[in-house]
């Protein structure tokens, strides 16, 4: 499990909390539904679209 804000930072879309807030304000979808909660818990298989990028949450083997 990872939180949305952490994923955006790990993917290199945001460098800090302020960047995360800006990305969320521009619009983020999780599994096709708009979401603006940086603490949203993501699980294996979730698909996030943010900043023109598609990110898929995947558990490490």
User: Considering the entire predicted model, what is its pTM?
Assistant: 0.90
pLDDT tens, position by position, 17-61: 999 999 999 999 999 999 999 999 999 999 999 989 999 999 876
Q: Is the pLDDT of residue 7 over 70?
A: yes
pLDDT for the residue 13: 95
pLDDT for the residue 60: 73
Each domain of the chain, given as residue ranges in start order, spans 2-56
DSSP string, the chain: -EEHHHHHHHTTS-SSHHHHHHHHHH-EEETTEE---TT-EE-TT-EEEETTEEEE-----
CATH architecture, domain defined by 2-56 = Roll (3.10)
Q: Is the pLDDT of residue 10 over 80?
A: yes
């Amino acid at each position: 499990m990872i939180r949305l804000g952490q994923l955006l930072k790990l993917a290199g879309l945001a460098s800090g909390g302020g960047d995360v807030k800006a990305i969320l304000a521009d619009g983020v979808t999780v599994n096709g539904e708009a979401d603006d909660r940086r603490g949203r818990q993501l699980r294996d298989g979730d698909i996030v679209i943010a900043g023109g990028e598609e990110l898929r949450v995947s558990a490490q083997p």
